[in-house]
């Protein structure tokens, strides 16, 4: 398959995240439905030179798949990058990267990783699973995630809430560490004003990313064109 070719799904019964190969990167966008591990494995078989998985505009979805893909990415020593938002199970996929960066495809104001707990289909917090999630996040942040901060975000009771980590140069949340902790009860258009701004380390200090250097995804797109 040529770089830039879009693969919508590799299964007929369920639509996985959209996949696009661009140079040495594979972009995975949209909801996590449960077959993304198979899709990623197949993509890497076809494109063994891929070194970076870019997560783009995903609200997450299937929790087990998020863990599995994150662990697969780490085991295969792949890097990850962000383009736009990556929330919930998508964030676990992102944490799998050996090197974890923001990209330049979208503005830094629109690019963030959002983490929260595990929730049942009715939206209720699955409190008995939060110990495992907390340990997993700390492990895949290379032991850097502040345990007290992780404790707060994995126990957000509302599944619409999350903690958002932005790049230090994002032109939002002035005077803060560019971290926003939302309970999910805030006015949607006023989250930047109403959400808490914890002073417990930024994305780099918490091991959410490994560098402030920006991954040059736009260059890959130009090469593909």
pTM metric for this prediction = 0.91
Computed over every residue of the chain, the mean pLDDT equals 92
> Length of the chain in residues, anyone?
225
Q: What element of type H or E holds 53?
A: strand 52-58
Per-residue pLDDT tens digits for 111-141 = 999 999 999 999 999 999 899 999 999 999 9
Check residue 221 and give its pLDDT.
56
Per-residue pLDDT tens digits for 19-60 = 999 999 999 999 999 999 999 999 999 999 999 999 999 999
Cβ neighbors of 83 (< 8 A, separation 6 or more) are 27, 54, 55, 56, 57, 103, 105, 106, 111, 217
**Of all residues in the chain, what percent carry a pLDDT higher than 90?**
88
**pLDDT band per the 50, 70, 90 thresholds, residue 12:** very low
Q: What element of type H or E holds 65?
A: helix 63-75
Mean pLDDT of 152-169: 97
Strand, coil or helix: 207: coil
pLDDT beyond 80 at 176: yes
Check residue 76 and give its pLDDT.
98
CB-CB contact of 15 with 33 (8 Å): yes
pLDDT beyond 80 at 11: no
Q: What is the dihedral of CA 155, 153, 78, 23, to 10 degrees?
A: 120
Check residue 14 and give its pLDDT.
56
User: CA nearest 215: which of 27, 71, 17?
Assistant: 27
Check residue 218 and give its pLDDT.
84
Mean pLDDT of 12-19: 71
Look at phi and psi of residue 219 and say left if phi exceeds 0, alpha if psi is from -120 to 50, else beta: alpha
pLDDT beyond 60 at 8: no
Q: Write the DSSP string, 183-194.
A: -S-S-GGGHHHH
**pLDDT band per the 50, 70, 90 thresholds, residue 16:** confident
**C-beta atoms surrounding 212 within 10 Å:** 13
16 or 211, greater pLDDT? 211
Check residue 220 and give its pLDDT.
61
| CA separation for the pair 88, 105 (Å, rounded) | 21
pLDDT beyond 90 at 2: no
């Amino acid at each position: 398959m040529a770089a830039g070719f879009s693969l919508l799904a590799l299964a007929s019964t369920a639509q996985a995240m959209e996949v696009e190969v661009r140079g040495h990167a594979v972009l995975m966008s949209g909801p996590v439905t449960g077959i993304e591990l198979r899709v990623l494995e197949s993509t890497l078989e076809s494109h063994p030179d891929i070194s970076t998985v870019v997560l783009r505009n995903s609200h997450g979805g299937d929790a087990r798949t998020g863990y599995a893909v994150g662990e697969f990415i780490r085991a295969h020593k792949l890097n990850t990058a962000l383009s736009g938002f990556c929330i919930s199970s998508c964030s676990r996929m992102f944490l799998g990267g050996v090197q974890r960066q923001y990209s330049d495809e979208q503005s830094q104001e629109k690019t963030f990783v959002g983490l929260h707990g595990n929730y049942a289909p009715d939206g209720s917090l699955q409190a008995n699973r939060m110990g495992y999630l907390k340990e997993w996040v700390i492990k895949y942040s290379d032991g850097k995630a502040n345990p007290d901060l992780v404790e707060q975000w994995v126990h957000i009771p509302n599944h619409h809430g999350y903690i958002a980590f932005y790049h230090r140069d994002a032109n939002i949340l002035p005077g803060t560490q560019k971290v926003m902790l939302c309970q999910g009860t805030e006015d949607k258009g006023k989250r930047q004003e109403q959400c808490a701004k914890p002073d417990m380390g930024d994305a780099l200090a918490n091991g959410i990313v490994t560098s402030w250097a920006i991954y040059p995804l736009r260059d890959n797109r130009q090469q593909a064109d």
